[in-house]
């Protein structure tokens, strides 16, 4: 499981790297970033996975997320994969829309042509990339947390809910909590999985919780000034679902904050400290 190093930079007493590899799952070259704090020889560190949102690559959080100081102080490895396969022959939305196709993999394994061949982000994030990270970095795979933003928040919630016991901590910034009930999700799930809605439920956090899936705990921050809140995110559905299911959750509405990395970077250190408490 070989990787190519694209860049490394010294930062906050650690190393920020960007890497690529030939993915078996997507059939493409995939790029990801990893921040590793300095540590004693032979030591293994907890890892936090960060899943990005629509239109993003690994670079958005790597350049704007302001996570390195907190990760260095807390001793956390931070891994940020891409949001979809890319490259020649990878199908995109026919009209070039931002919310489907390239940059919008929705962390599903597609079953519909022409997307099924390459759009296997669920298997990539759940299986292939963790194996690659475990083989090449000083990670303690018994201490994993997962987080994400928007579409990536949806990915973090659903991946954690589908894999009980794997992640000690789960959090999200402005997640799509019920994709089966909002336009972004209906377009993506319909396009990747077809119109048989029973196949959508394993990619819908509210549906998974309704179906009995549980997390040890959950932290969500949502900006009240987010222009996607009312139509696409519908955070209240997650609040209602968690209350009904008695799922432990802290869901914080943040006045004045929008959907951008100004919002994410403001609360990133809070989230990482919350993860660290549960990972150590």
Question: Residue 172, Cα to own-chain centre: how many angstroms?
Answer: 8
Q: Can you tell me the mean pLDDT for 218-242? A: 98
- pLDDT-derived band at 1 (thresholds 50, 70, 90) equals confident
Specify the pLDDT at position 251: 98
Asked if 155 and 176 count as a contact pair (C-beta separation under 8 A), the reply is no
**From the candidates 23, 52, 150, 171, which is the catalytic residue?**
150
What mean pLDDT do residues 73-87 have?
98
Percentage of the chain beyond pLDDT 90 is 99
Percent of the chain past pLDDT 70, that is, above it, reads 100
* pLDDT tens sequence across 169-220: 999 999 999 999 999 999 999 999 999 899 999 999 999 999 999 999 999 9
Q: Is the pLDDT score of 49 beyond 80?
A: yes
Choosing from 52, 118, 226, 275, the catalytic residue is 226
Residues of the domain holding 156 = 4-279
Number of domains in the chain: 1
- Rounded mean pLDDT, 238-263: 98
Q: What is the pLDDT of residues 58-71, one digit of tens each?
A: 999 999 999 999 99
pTM: 0.98
Active site residue 154: no
Q: The domain spanning residue 111 has which CATH number?
A: 3.40.50.1820
What is the pLDDT of the chain when averaged over all its residues? 98
User: Is 99 part of the annotated catalytic residue set?
Assistant: no
pLDDT in tens, 136-146: 999 999 999 99
Q: 118 catalytic, yes or no?
A: no
How far the first Cα of the chain sits from its last, in Å, is 28
Mean pLDDT value of segment 42-55: 98
Give the per-residue pLDDT at 184. Answer: 98
**Catalytic residue from among 149, 259, 271, 275:** 259
């Amino acid at each position: 499981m070989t990787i190519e190093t694209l860049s490394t930079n010294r930062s906050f007493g650690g190393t920020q790297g960007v890497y690529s590899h030939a993915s078996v799952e997507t059939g493409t070259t995939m790029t990801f970033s990893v921040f590793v704090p300095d540590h004693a020889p032979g030591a293994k560190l907890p890892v936090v996975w960060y899943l990005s949102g629509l239109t993003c690559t690994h670079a958005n959080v790597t350049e704007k997320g302001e996570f390195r100081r907190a990760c260095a102080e807390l001793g956390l490895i931070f891994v940020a994969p891409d949001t979809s396969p890319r490259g020649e022959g990878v199908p995109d939305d026919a009209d070039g829309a931002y919310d489907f196709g390239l940059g919008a993999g929705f962390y599903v394994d597609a079953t519909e042509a022409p997307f099924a061949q390459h759009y296997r982000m669920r298997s990539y994030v759940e299986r292939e990339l963790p194996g690659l990270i475990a083989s090449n970095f000083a990670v303690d795979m018994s201490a994993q947390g997962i987080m994400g933003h928007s579409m990536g928040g949806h990915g973090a919630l659903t991946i954690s809910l589908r894999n009980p016991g794997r992640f000690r901590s789960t959090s999200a910034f402005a997640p799509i909590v019920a994709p089966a009930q909002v336009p972004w999700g209906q377009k993506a799930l319909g396009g990747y999985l077809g119109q048989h809605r029973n196949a959508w439920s394993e990619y819908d956090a509210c549906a998974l919780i309704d179906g009995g899936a549980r997390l040890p705990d959950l932290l969500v921050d949502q900006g009240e000034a987010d222009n996607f809140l009312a139509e696409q995110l519908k955070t209240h559905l997650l609040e209602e679902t968690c209350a009904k299911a008695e799922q432990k959750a802290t869901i914080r509405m943040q006045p004045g904050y929008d959907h951008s990395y100004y919002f994410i970077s403001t609360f990133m250190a809070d989230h990482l400290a919350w993860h660290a408490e549960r990972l150590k």
